[in-house]
């Protein structure tokens, strides 16, 4: 899947007409003062690591030298899941679709969807209408940018175009006209399709197999925000010809990812960080959180994800940048950041890796970040016995106005979620492997 994306990217022309910055056109972000923090931890089971391949575009990507190498991931058989009872699926425009509230006292919805990208888009288009998202006319400048973005999506990831086409069809609109857009959550920031912009706030932790009691790699993440967020969704998606995946997201489900995992055992967690200076230029570019979602649909491991991040045109909201911790079931992990010198990849020589809202420099260089130090201490105190509950406790130690805590098991493809409604006491457990098994049994495709 990655090779197809890279082939189309390599064919892009460098001299496209200069266009207004998509972020200044499509983003309406409130200037409210918000305190947010992100933390990512990765635990490394096998040392030394194999070196990452050199960046293919030196002008855009800089790979930091490290004294250790990440092991080359080897294929691991997806565990067989035993199907469990689920809500009766409702066919929407040909797609498999189910939706349910996880808990009545919190605005979090679980969605399962499978089908072609256009069928999935139509299903979400009907869901958007239930959320009362109404189209609005686009200005001439917005239409110009939208046309340019559609051209870029067509080159980079046609699935995004087909999904948008399905959403617009649900509204009886023609995507190719791009005369209208569908804004979401205008009170805080604007999601305008095509072109999706928003900002995440969170903490993430990854534990490599050698630090865990059962040899399973685990990634945990806190989503830190000062209040619950509209349209918070846990989305299980199985697009035709893409990797099945599960993501936690807000506002525009199935276009972006705050955190998530695919059926190949690749997981990621996102955090806010200053991205000032990253050379985005004036050409159309994909929004960071869209790219992270595409990684889960198209990449099987950390190596493939890094390669795609070094190739794909990328942009951020003016208010917040992000960096991302990537991890896979082999124990490989890396923090990827977007700096003035380009795409920078950092790795750890420890059995874990931690990422906060500061640029990543390694455990010895984070004395002024108490959340970083707290998480590292909690992991080291685990003494190689970090199971899912222990990882939950690591994340609890760094809660900051947390709206959800989630732990992904990259071996058995399960996830465990906790919420602030009961002070994170209850555990809600789900299985991506089970979802994949049920879709295959139903023969949706």
Question: In which band, very low, low, confident or very high, does the pLDDT at 219 lie, cut at 50, 70 and 90?
Answer: very high
**Which of 60-69, 158-167, 227-236, 255-264 is the least confident region?**
60-69
Q: Report domain extents, the chain.
A: 2-12+37-74+201-442, 96-181
Residues 362-379: tens digit of each pLDDT: 444 555 677 788 888 899
35 pLDDT higher than 90: no
Residues 152-175: tens digit of each pLDDT: 889 989 999 999 999 999 999 988
The structural architecture, per CATH, of the domain 2-12+37-74+201-442 is 4-Layer Sandwich (3.60)
Q: Average pLDDT of the chain?
A: 76
Residues 107-155: tens digit of each pLDDT: 899 999 999 999 999 999 999 899 888 888 888 888 888 888 888 889 9
Question: In which band, very low, low, confident or very high, does the pLDDT at 276 lie, cut at 50, 70 and 90?
Answer: low
Residues 178-201: tens digit of each pLDDT: 888 877 554 444 444 444 433 345
78 pLDDT higher than 60: no
Residue 147: its pLDDT value, please?
A: 85
- What's the residue count for the chain? 445
Residue 227: its pLDDT value, please?
A: 63
pTM over 0.75: yes
């Amino acid at each position: 899947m990655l090779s197809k994306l890279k082939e189309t990217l390599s064919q892009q022309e460098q001299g496209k007409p200069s266009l207004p910055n998509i972020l200044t056109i499509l983003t309406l972000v409130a200037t409210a003062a918000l305190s947010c923090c992100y933390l990512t931890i990765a635990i490394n089971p096998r040392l030394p690591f194999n070196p990452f391949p050199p960046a293919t575009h030196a002008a855009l990507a800089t790979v930091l030298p490290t004294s250790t190498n990440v092991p080359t991931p080897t294929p691991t058989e997806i565990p067989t899941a035993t199907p469990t009872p689920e809500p009766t699926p409702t066919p929407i425009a040909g797609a498999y679709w189910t939706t349910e509230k996880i808990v009545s006292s919190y605005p979090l919805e679980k969605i399962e969807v499978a089908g072609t990208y256009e069928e999935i888009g139509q299903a979400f288009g009907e869901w958007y209408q239930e959320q009362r998202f109404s189209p609005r006319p686009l200005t001439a400048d917005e239409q110009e940018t939208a046309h340019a973005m559609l051209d870029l999506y067509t080159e980079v990831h046609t699935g995004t175009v087909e999904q948008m086409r399905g959403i617009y069809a649900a509204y009886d609109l023609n995507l190719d006209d791009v005369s209208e857009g569908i804004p979401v959550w205008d009170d805080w920031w604007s999601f305008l399709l095509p072109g999706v912009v928003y900002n995440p706030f969170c903490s993430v932790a990854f534990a490599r197999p050698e630090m865990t009691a059962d040899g399973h790699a685990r990634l945990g993440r806190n989503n830190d925000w000062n209040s619950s967020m509209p349209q918070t969704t846990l989305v299980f998606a199985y697009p035709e010809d893409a990797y099945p995946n599960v993501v936690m997201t807000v506002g525009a489900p199935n276009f972006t990812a705050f955190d998530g995992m695919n059926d190949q055992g690749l997981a990621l967690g996102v955090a806010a960080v200053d991205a000032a200076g990253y050379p985005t230029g004036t050409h159309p570019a994909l929004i960071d959180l869209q790219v992270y979602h595409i990684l889960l649909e198209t990449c099987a491991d950390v190596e493939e994800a890094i390669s795609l991040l070094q190739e794909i045109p990328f942009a951020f909201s003016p208010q917040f940048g992000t960096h991302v911790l990537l991890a896979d079931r082999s124990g490989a992990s890396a923090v990827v950041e977007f700096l003035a010198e380009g795409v920078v990849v950092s790795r750890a020589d420890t059995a874990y890796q931690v990422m906060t809202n500061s640029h990543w420099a390694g455990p010895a260089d984070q004395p002024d970040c108490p959340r970083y130090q707290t998480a590292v201490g909690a992991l080291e105190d685990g003494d190689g016995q970090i199971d899912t509950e222990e990882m939950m406790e690591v994340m609890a130690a760094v809660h900051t106005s947390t709206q959800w805590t989630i732990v992904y098991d990259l071996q058995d493809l399960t996830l465990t979620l906790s919420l602030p409604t009961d002070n994170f006491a209850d555990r809600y457990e789900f299985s991506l492997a089970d979802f994949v098994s049920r879709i295959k049994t139903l023969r949706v495709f």
